[in-house]
Structure 1
Amino acid sequence: MKRIGPASVAVTATVSFLATGCSAAPNDVPYSWISSTYEYEMGNYLDPSDPPSEVADEIDGHTAAADRLSDDGMVFLRYDDDMVAIGPRSVGTGSVIDVDDYDDGYDRWSSHVRRSWPAPGSSSFRGGGPGFGK
């Protein structure tokens, strides 16, 4: 029986990390985590006290976004086929969190994201998971 020593384990772990890290698609939006962490009210999730930048840090820290954009007091996180928009609440303190699929989110928030993010269906849009449109 051949023993696997620490050097073999380190090499195997490094090769596994490189193989998965280089081919990994952007993450999916952490929808279940968002729904269990934040309050839900009238179609949106709410954080009653934290500003948009802190809420974005929390969400991005839980599941890394493919891209992040701040514009006009809002923060946008782009995931594989989804978008999370975080803005200030209209009354009081805190943030409103909106989760949309990328197409709907792009249409809704295009005045904020169109300068930086590709339009859905464009040749530079890389959503759709591994191998789709690449």
Structure 2
Amino acid sequence: MFALIVLGAMALAVAGCGAPVRDWLADTYELRDRNGDVATYYSPDPVGITVANIVDEMEPAARSADGGREYLRYDDDIVTVGAAPGGGSTITVEDLGGRYSSGGYAYLGPGFTPGSPAAGNTSGGSGDAK
């Protein structure tokens, strides 16, 4: 019985690991542009549905909204979803380096400030140790 429980837990862990969000986006949405580490995709669905689909597939470490855009932070990437001209959504994925490391997303709050804890982190530390 114990072996079945362990195997079941291992199967759930493996199922939840999946490919990085960048790979999933590339397999799911239409690539519109690529510039270095930044890729832009198109979804025919509105922002809310597109974000729900992404989050259902891969839970972000932090999530925020600002000015009609949704921001999802993952271990290595920031995903931004906004309305596309003419309908649908534009999905941009970029590496955590660059704008993120220089505080470009700090205005979004916890989980988006470089060194800040991810949403739901209960360690109590700021992550900004010197």
Shift of 1:16: 5.8
Closer, same or farther in 2 for the Cα pair 1:118/1:45, shift >3 Å? closer
C-alpha RMSD over aligned residues: 3.3
The answer for unaligned runs of 5 or more in structure 1 is: 1-6, 21-25, 127-132
Change (3 A) 1:118 1:40: closer
Percent same amino acid at aligned positions? 27
Q: Structure 2 residue aligned with 1:78, among 68, 73, 79? A: 73
Structure 2 residue matching 1:85: 3-state secondary structure: strand
Contact kept, 8 Å, 1:28 with 1:79, in 2: the verdict is no
Q: Is the 8 A contact 1:74 1:87 kept in 2?
A: yes
Indicate the structure whose relative CO is greater, using CA pairs within 8 Å and at least 6 residues apart: 1
Q: 1:57 is aligned with what amino acid?
A: A
Per-residue deviation, residues 28-48 of structure 1 (Å, max 9, x unmatched) = 74211211211111331011x
Contact persistence 1:82–1:99 (CA under 8 A): yes
Q: For residues 71 and 27 of structure 1, do their structure 2 counterparts lie closer, same or farther at Cα, with a shift above 3 Å needed?
A: farther
Distance 1:56 1:9, change over 3 A: same
**Which one of the candidate residues 92, 96, 120 is aligned to 2:90?**
96
Q: CA deviation at 1:117?
A: 3.0
Look up the equivalent residue of 2:57 and give its one-letter code. H
Q: Name structure 2 gaps, 5 residues minimum.
A: 35-39, 119-126
How many residues matched? Answer: 112
Distance 1:30 1:8 in 2: 33
TM (norm. structure 2) is 0.65
Q: Which has the larger radius of gyration?
A: 1
AA at the equivalent of 1:41: R
Deviations 1:82-123 (A, max 9, x none): 11011111x21011111111233535952752x333432x3x
Equivalent-residue separation in structure 1 for 2:67 and 2:106 (angstroms): 10
* 2:105–2:112 contact (8 Å) kept in structure 1: no
